[in-house]
Amino acid sequence: MLSWLTGKCTEAAQVGTLGVQQLSRKGSPVASLMPVLFILAVVFVFYVAATNNPLRKCPRCGGKGTLPSSVLEGRYRICPRCNRKGEIGN
Ligand SMILES: [Zn+2]
């Protein structure tokens, strides 16, 4: 039983290394780095957008611009923090 298990394990490991070798042989090192570079680029773009945008989402209404009324159910009142714009300046 144990030998059968270890045999399966080594078999799987061999298949795994074979697959990796085939992958690395097929594509260039730059191609294998492309997903990482893409993720880094997306993070960078989001970082720049977050730092350069002078407006940010209103924390009181969550960007909706309205708050649920406490007096009348199902009605909304204008958010006093952002005056219905949904975003506030820094
Ligand atoms: Zn608001």
User: Could you read off the pLDDT of 38-58 as tens digits, one per residue?
Assistant: 999 999 888 887 777 678 899
C-alpha 67 to ligand 1 mean position (Å): 8
Match 């773009």 to its residue by tokens: 45
What is the pLDDT at residue 21? 54
Residue in the block written with tokens 């350069």: 52
pTM tops 0.75, yes or no: no
Give the residue among 63, 51, 52 at the shortest CA–CA distance from 82. Answer: 63
Q: Report d(CA 23, CA 67) in Å as an integer.
A: 54
CA of 73 to the centre of ligand 1 (A): 19
Q: How many CA atoms lie within 13 A of 84 on its CB side?
A: 3
List, as ranges, residues with CB under 5 A of the ion ligand 1.
58, 60-61, 79, 81-82
